[in-house]
A and B are shown apart, each in its own frame.
Chain A
Amino acid sequence: MNKYRVIASVHEGGVWEQRFKALEQAIKNAYGIVDPNASVSVVWQRIPAGQAYLAGEPSTTSTVVPPVPVDIKQEIREQFMHAVCQEWMEITGCSVNEIIVNAMNEDMVAKYMQISQGRLSKSKAKSRFALMFITALLKKWLRGYTSFNINLKS
């Protein structure tokens, strides 16, 4: 069974919070298109108000990054992105311009994460990540979903 961790960047307090179960299920169902044996988990990256912009203006657009196998055909990738996009709009009621899907090859997602972590001081990041991990576990226990804030306050 192949494991995929989907990152969904969403706005704090947005509709997703009431519909996360349906959204997670919809993403898992869509994975049937790319890999019927997929084991899928969704991590919600919460963006506080005033920290996201589109076209230079404040934005509430959500971005979903579902990793896909490296040997996937473009036709299948597009079907998959369409499925995620459609389900997201139906469940949240957002417009087509408020959802971005970036189905990156899984090796590229790993590379992106590597670059993203490379900007941080390893020694200082350790304690912050530990705190983030504990907070994420608490949230999972209290609310049922795994999430973290885009800010890393100590």
Chain B
Amino acid sequence: MPLYTISTRGELSAEAKAKAAMMITDVHCAHTGAPRTFVQVVFSEHLPLQDDMDLHVLASARAGRTQQLNDTIEQDIVQGMEHISSIPSLKIGYELFPVPASWVMEGGVILPEPGEEAEWLEKHQHSA
């Protein structure tokens, strides 16, 4: 967690997928301070997206962050996807689905609430 699901009408090249995964990981971690090992990116291709969309980002992320922070992450990811995929930002949809951290187990332990990562990492070094 977060899990970013990138859905496309067609296919992104292998290079574009790798770049997008790296960009999303960079953006998410730079803004939230979350460890990189938390960030999952999955690509779903050949989806019959709504007519006004060629690419869609569904961000399932830990709840509890400010609207401003979530908006900044969205803006940067949409801009990054526009750059990588050459799909105009107007044709890129984005939705956030917040999930309580206490509902997720990664590395065999419950995830920390946003902002409590440092303490959590110190306690559970193996999953960092």
Interfacial residues, chain A to chain B (CB-CB below 8 A): 9, 47, 50-59, 61, 63, 74, 77-78, 81-82, 85, 96-97, 100-105, 108, 111-112, 115-116, 118-121, 124-125, 128, 150-154
Contact = CB atoms under 8 A, between A and B. Distances in A.
Contacts of A116: 5, 58
Chain B, interface size: which category? 35 or more
A59 B107 CA distance: 14
B39 to A, nearest CB: 6
A28 B62 CA distance: 27
A111 B107 CA distance: 26
Contacts of B42: 9, 47, 51-53, 150
Contact of B99 (A55, A56, A82, A102): A102
A54 B37 contact: yes
A88 B108 CA distance: 11
A102 B48 contact: no
Given A96-B126, A97-B127, A53 B107 contact: no
B53 A119 contact: yes
B48 A152 contact: yes
Interface in B81-104: 93, 95, 97, 99, 102-104
B22 interface: yes
A56 B21 contact: yes
Q: Which of A56, A58, A154 has the most CB of B within 10 A?
A: A56
Interface of B: 1, 3, 5, 7, 14, 17-18, 21-22, 25-26, 36-37, 39-51, 53, 56, 58, 60, 93, 95, 97, 99, 102-108, 110, 126-127
Contacts, number: 127
B46 A100 contact: no
Top 7 A-B pairs ranked by shortest CB distance? A124-B48, A53-B21, A56-B25, A55-B36, A96-B108, A81-B105, A56-B22
